[in-house]
Chains A and B, each alone.
Chain A
Amino acid sequence: MSDKVSFKINGESVTVPKGTTVMQAAQQMKIAIPHFCWHPGLSVAGVCRFCLVKVEGRPKLEIACNLQAVDGMEIRTDTEEVKDAHKWALEFHLINHPLDCPICDQAGECGLQNYYMSVGKYQSQMDRPKVLKPKALDVGGDLVLDTERCILCSRCVRFEKEVTKTDALGIFDRGDHAIIGTYPGKKISHNYTTNLVDICPVGAFTSKDFRFKQRVWFLEEKPSTCAGCSTGCQVDVFGKEQTGTYYRLKPREGEANGHWMCDYGRGTYRHLNQEERQRFAFVNDRGSRRDVDFNEAIAVLAKKLKHTKADDVAILVSAQYTNEEYEALFDFFVGKIGVKKVYQWREPTEKLSDFDGLLLRGDRNANTAGLLAAMKLHKVGGDKPMNQHEDVAKSGAKLVIALVPEIPTGFPSLKTHLLGLSELEFVSFWSVNGLIDDLKQARHVIPLKGFAEKRGTFTNHAGKDGHLTTPFNCPVPDARCIVETVSALAEVYSRAH
């Protein structure tokens, strides 16, 4: 028996592995079959009854999500009967829906709205009072629940059962009075709550963090890789370049993360916003701090470097930068200048082996693997791969180039470290976040671009590369990535005397 089956959808032939459903095959073929309850990352519920298709030779329409493809089957999704069924399925979903789109955060990315435009466009026949249900419930985590908008697709219930295995949600009561809810006295409490906002096809679950901040159609959406830990989830960054504001991260289906993303990772857009950023370069002669432009900051550093012996220079590197940046950094400092003191900047409390079983890893750096590889290539860092920042102080270095960890939330000791380092003789801090800005003793600071504003790659825990391909315009005009910074420095250095 063959382990493949061949069949047709709308006359188009396809061969798929045995056991594939018509819905899965249609997804591969980019044939849109409207659906609410089906989700590729969850079990089949078969309850929304939206994905009805015609199987030639069978009397009743059948749901594509629970229909296994068999050899010779002919499926139609485009007949008048099917179109009418889709229209009605949508109307059933909408009769008790409050239609409060103008005040709903889901507007613009709502299944009900989108399907109304693609398969609906009917005149509503509902002229009776609607069923009223509880609204604006705080059910824990990042979640606000509006049970009136809910279409009871049960995706969230299945997510809690199958993905987080917390079983925190259930459907209570029955019929058109059924509501989604948590158990009495209990709330949802885990690190994956915002996934419920993503998988909710309507505005029943909205995000406390994001709601009412911005209409989604005003946002730019750019693919990226989460910099929050060594898993390297594929994400989309949502921001508004016009105002230089970032709003949220959402998972994009990828090998590293499947369909999901953790709440911790979702929060790693906040440091990119202006109020959290290192917004200017400055030099400080201990008593006279001056904001300078990028070029002047580079000139000061180049001069300092020129007048410091290579043995007295140390580099302290966080594992949150890209492979390309490490390459440029080591190429110049190690290869050209001859610096030997290279240290990793690690969080002392980190437990690298930690893993929550889903996505989040104890290594809260996106590119530990990449940094280690670059250090090995340039034969720096010695036998001890995990040197702490204290080693820098003990090393007696007179000039330290410090690549500050970009994301402060993954680095609880960062403030203490910065304070300690700022008291050394001369540390040039290169930083995305603005934590260094308040430290009176800091001698030299250069603002950097964040992960969403540059191109490059991270290598995750499994050795797979995650790409940063589509940068946002950086809201900090003087910020550069490390490649650009090093390149400018090398240029000025070569002319300095």
Chain B
Amino acid sequence: MGNTTDKVKILTAFEGMPNSRALSTYTSKGGYDALKKVLKMQPAQIIEEVKQSGLRGRGGAGFPTGLKWSFVPQNLPGPRYLVCNNDEGEPGTFKDRYIAELSPHMIVEGMVIAAKAIGACKGYIYTRYEFFEEIHWLETAIKEAYQAGFLGKNIQGSGFDFDLDHYTGAGAYICGEETGLISSLEGKKGQPKLKPPFPAVSGYLGRPTVVNNTETFAAVPWIMTNGAAAYKAIGTEKSPGTKLFSIAGAIKKPGVYELPLGYSFEKLLNDDCGGMLPGRTLKACIPGGASAPVLTPEELKGLTLDYEAIAAKGSMLGSGAVMIIDDRQSMVELMKVIADFYHHESCGQCTPCREGTGWLANIMGGIWEKQGAESDVDRMWTVAKQMGGRTICALSDAAAMPTMAITKKFGDEIREYIRRGTSA
């Protein structure tokens, strides 16, 4: 599934290795050495090291990981929790499952290190319902780690205790939002929580909680083994390290690629992925999962894959799901799929999202059924604009951003469809 490149391999170090998921394979290549080192360190040192590495959250928002850990109040008595967000659901994204497939112990080790850093007593890996095999692999890894003394009481004789459990979601996209995930973990309806208070202060069961993406945790052991400076040396100044990109579409070699941040988009597409399928041309690309605004070939020229460069083009790196859209793909259909998806997944708490996602899907449904008016295109843009930045969580923005981009950049195609009843 993965594609070997000659780049630095941190997250995909075990790619192509037989029996890569086994604890013995993992430890034979230095697995859990980082943990052993960390167990002798002070929490503040660990946090500082992660801060220095410049590691940013790989779930989509790109928030600095060390900074997030440092928000947990240090002197507050009582339990603290650590959660791995493995509810990978952003359309187009299939990179976290790849880590669980290759080396689930990398996730476990990263979590124990993070637990030591924030003083968590208990952690959960929250995986989406549909990942049946990944769930099995993660549960097996947890069991192995307990048996080898990397989890549980007095880890490796250090006096540090940390328990880890696996929790399976029920399949809602919104449970991938960190506070929605916490609600779900608490046994409640999966709805994001009003912030403030933030999870670092009041999260799972009202206790300080850190939620990180699977890929974020998986990067931590390498950083602790090789040092922050080595990690920072990879990638760009503001986007250090490597990132998994899950790339799909009418290209020769789709799959998961580990690339240093700041990698050339054209190089990824044309060299690593072998270019477009014969007879297809690049019409557009969604660079960071369905919620990232679509980019045109013009905008993609010279683009590098890092947080800043993509943001400068008005889109976002997001989860690193690169969706290649070719000339045969109808943007009307794409818009309809996106609108229906967010309509279906809106939790319904906040009015602009509940009503806005429904309205967009409603208008789009009309267009699709050939009952649209050309003014619908501008109306969708206007409605989407009013949905952005006004809600508890980012789902409303996630629906609004691609809608605004598609209706603006491909509005003529949609209007043409409305006039002629077919995509050009």
Contacts and interface: CB of A to CB of B under 8 A. Distances in A.
A441 to B, nearest CB: 64
A131 B343 CA distance: 13
Contacts of A173: 348
Secondary structure dominating the interface of B: helix
Given A49-B391, A126-B359, A152-B354, 16 more contacts: A49-B350, A49-B351, A85-B390, A92-B359, A95-B358, A128-B366, A131-B358, A171-B348, A174-B189, A174-B346, A174-B347, A174-B348, A175-B343, A176-B358, A177-B348, A178-B354
Interface of A: 44-50, 52, 60-61, 66, 85, 88-89, 92-93, 95-96, 125-126, 128-129, 131, 151-152, 154, 171, 173-178
Secondary structure dominating the interface of A: loop
A145 B358 CA distance: 23
Nearest to B364: A128
Interface size of B as a range: 20 to 34
A128 B358 CA distance: 11
Interface in B324-338: none
Closest CB pairs A-B (n = 7):
A176-B358, A178-B348, A92-B355, A46-B194, A175-B346, A88-B386, A128-B362
A36 to B, nearest CB: 8
Contacts of A154: 349
Interface string B380-411: 00110010011110000000000000000000
A421 B351 CA distance: 62
Contact of B350 (A47, A61, A131, A177): A47
Contacts of B354: 92, 152, 175-176, 178
Contacts of B344: 175
Given A96-B358, A128-B362, A175-B343, A48 B194 contact: no
Contact of A46 (B174, B357, B366, B392): B392
Contacts of B383: 125
A152 B348 contact: yes
Given A128-B366, A175-B348, A95 B359 contact: yes
A92 B346 contact: no
10 contacts: A44-B194, A60-B389, A92-B359, A128-B362, A154-B349, A171-B189, A174-B347, A175-B348, A176-B348, A178-B354
B295 to A, nearest CB: 23
A61 B391 CA distance: 10
Interface in B143-198: 172, 174, 189, 194, 196
A154 B348 CA distance: 11
Contacts of A44: 194
B379 interface: yes
A171 B349 CA distance: 9
Contact of A89 (B172, B189, B351, B365): B351
B110 interface: no
Nearest to B342: A175
Contacts of A178: 348, 354
Contacts of A89: 351-352, 390
Contacts of A45: 194, 349
A3 B157 CA distance: 47
B259 to A, nearest CB: 31
B348 A129 contact: no
A93 B351 CA distance: 6
Contacts of B358: 95-96, 131, 175-176
Contacts of A47: 194, 349-351, 392
Given A48-B351, A92-B351, A125-B379, A176 B390 contact: no
Contact of A176 (B174, B194, B196, B355): B355
A103 B240 CA distance: 62
Contacts of B386: 85, 88, 92
A471 B115 CA distance: 68
